[in-house]
Amino acid sequence: MNVCAACGAEPGGVCGGYHELLVEVKPFTTIEQFSGHPCMDYSYGSNARGRIPADASAAFGNTPRVSHWEMGHGHGGGVEIIENWTGADIDVAWERAGNATRWNPPTGDAGVGVTGRE
Ligand SMILES: [Zn+2]
């Protein structure tokens, strides 16, 4: 899925006001479980195979505390996590996002039960 996050660093500056991520969502409890997945291969939006239409690929696990991506930001950048971009209401935002942030198995199961809800 594509996630767009507003960026307030230097309005009109190097970030252009927002960042876009291409996110892979899996019911994983650690970032290490994403090893070998495409979402870990496009730090800063590119690698030797090419470029993706986003600032970076990103991994979202089964809670807002399992996330990882690397992108340029301001005059630096580096490893980012969801908490850096949501502030104190991270759990509220995660719940509001609903199944958009939860693994959606190809069977059509909407992911109910993955987070222990319902
Ligand atoms: Zn930025």
| Centre of ligand 1 from the C-alpha of residue 11, in Å | 9
Q: Which residue has the higher pLDDT, 30 or 117?
A: 30
> Distance of alpha carbon 96 from its chain centroid, rounded?
16
What is the enclosing helix (H) or strand (E) of 92?
helix 90-97
What is the enclosing helix (H) or strand (E) of 73?
strand 67-73
Report d(CA 60, CA 24) in Å as an integer.
6
Q: pTM higher than 0.85, yes or no?
A: no
| Centre of ligand 1 from the C-alpha of residue 74, in Å | 5
| Centre of ligand 1 from the C-alpha of residue 7, in Å | 5
| Centre of ligand 1 from the C-alpha of residue 108, in Å | 35
Considering only CA atoms, give the Rg of the chain: 15
Report d(CA 103, CA 66) in Å as an integer.
13
| Centre of ligand 1 from the C-alpha of residue 83, in Å | 15
Say which range, 4-13, 31-40, 62-71, has the weakest mean pLDDT.
4-13
| Centre of ligand 1 from the C-alpha of residue 109, in Å | 35
| Centre of ligand 1 from the C-alpha of residue 17, in Å | 7
**Model confidence pLDDT, tens digit, residues 64-114:** 899 999 999 998 999 999 888 887 788 888 888 887 777 777 665 544 444
Q: Mention every residue, 6+ apart, whose C-beta is less than 8 A from residue 64.
A: 82, 83, 86, 90, 91, 93, 94, 101
Find where tokens 């409890």 sit.
29
